[in-house]
Amino acid sequence: MAKFSLTMERWVGRVALVTGASVGIGAAITRALVRHGMIVVACARGVEKIQAIKCELEAESASGKLHPIQCDLRKKDQIAAMFEEIKKEFRVVHACINNAAVAYGAKLVTGDSDDWQEPLDVNVMALCICTQNSIKLMLDNEVNDGQIIHINSISGHKVVGDRFYCGTKHMVTALTEGLRTELRAMKSHIRVCSISPGVVKTEMAARKARQDPAECTFYDTHPSIKAEDVANQVIHVLQQPPYLQIHEILLRPIEQKI
């Protein structure tokens, strides 16, 4: 029987898509994958921040490559254009990391429904559309060991805090199992994994409060883990041998109560 070791070797030179790569967890995942030799297509609206990450990685002579794309994931035509560019430049996607998400804390009873639309579009619709397009490119190119990773949340398993955001993340939990069963029915070896962090120190709390990140004090009072801790889990999932599927990783700061 063939032996597989836990290395990133088989991903070197292969193509990963990371959504929401301009800051936070997506930026950390992008850095980690490029440092492990992958070609990373990284998208967000703030593409200039991804360009800066590209310069930083080139300055340290990271072994992989970074290809920034500006994309507003609320817009289906922009997602379609991104996949056209990926197809033209790289032909294929081997790993798709659905990381982008937003939360605005709009209450179910009194909140503004406009603040539900964006989380629905980014956290759920864009995740499904990017997944579908990535799997199509995998199938068209006979990639049978591809990997889909959804960056989910503890809010995908418990209803706490922002209820609408929890609703979108519970959908991600259901969609992970839904995709697994569809892929099984197709006898595909493409895998899907959900990574569910607790509190991570990023721009998310500030964006939720529509605050300048520099003025955000949320993490002063809430124990948090680092974006790099989540990126390490992505690497761990990719390192697994092709016959093994990690379905869910739940991680939180030791001091987090929920």
Ligand X SMILES: NC(=O)c1ccc[n+]([C@@H]2O[C@H](COP(=O)([O-])OP(=O)(O)OC[C@H]3O[C@@H](n4cnc5c(N)ncnc54)[C@H](OP(=O)(O)O)[C@@H]3O)[C@@H](O)[C@H]2O)c1
Asked if 148 is part of the footprint of ligand X (rule: CB under 6 A), the reply reads no
Find the helix or strand (DSSP H, E) in which 192 lies.
strand 191-197
Integer angstrom CA distances of residue 5 from 38, 63, 134, 234, 242 = 18, 20, 26, 16, 11
List 20, 68, 146, 167, residue binding ligand X (CB under 6 A): 20
Instruction: Name the minimum Å distance from CB 102 to ligand X.
Output: 5
Q: In the range 54-93, which residues lie near ligand X by CB under 6 A?
A: 71-74
Please state, in angstroms and rounded to a whole number, the distance separating the CA atoms of residues 43 and 124. Answer: 16
Asked if 40 is part of the footprint of ligand X (rule: CB under 6 A), the reply reads no
Asked if 143 is part of the footprint of ligand X (rule: CB under 6 A), the reply reads no
Residue 226, SS3 per DSSP:
strand
Q: In the range 213-252, which residues lie near ligand X by CB under 6 A?
A: none
Please state, in angstroms and rounded to a whole number, the distance separating the CA atoms of residues 25 and 199. Answer: 11
Q: In the range 181-220, which residues lie near ligand X by CB under 6 A?
A: 197, 199-200, 202-204, 207
Q: Are strands 225-226 and 147-151 parallel, antiparallel or unpaired?
A: unpaired
Instruction: Name the minimum Å distance from CB 46 to ligand X.
Output: 3
List 26, 64, 119, 167, residue binding ligand X (CB under 6 A): 26
List 16, 17, 18, 25, residue binding ligand X (CB under 6 A): 25
Asked if 119 is part of the footprint of ligand X (rule: CB under 6 A), the reply reads no
Asked if 99 is part of the footprint of ligand X (rule: CB under 6 A), the reply reads yes
Q: How many CA atoms lie within 13 A of 200 on its CB side?
A: 25
Determine the interface stretch with ligand X among 4-12, 17-25, 83-91, 234-242 (rule: CB under 6 A).
17-25
Q: Enter the tokens of residue 199.
A: 């509190």
Q: Does 165 participate in catalysis according to the annotation?
A: yes
Please state, in angstroms and rounded to a whole number, the distance separating the CA atoms of residues 27 and 171. Answer: 24
Find the helix or strand (DSSP H, E) in which 21 lies.
none
Please state, in angstroms and rounded to a whole number, the distance separating the CA atoms of residues 5 and 244. Answer: 12
Asked if 163 is part of the footprint of ligand X (rule: CB under 6 A), the reply reads no
CB atoms within 10 A of CB 81: 14
Residue 151 sits at the vertex; the CA angle it makes with 90 and 125, to the nearest 5 degrees, is 75
In the complex with ligand X, the residue whose CB is nearer, 37 or 46, is: 46
Asked if 18 is part of the footprint of ligand X (rule: CB under 6 A), the reply reads no
In the complex with ligand X, the residue whose CB is nearer, 189 or 222, is: 222
Residues at the site binding ligand X, with contacts judged by CB under 6 A: 20-26, 44-46, 71-74, 99-102, 122, 151, 153, 197, 199-200, 202-204, 207
Q: Could you give the residue numbers annotated as active site?
A: 165
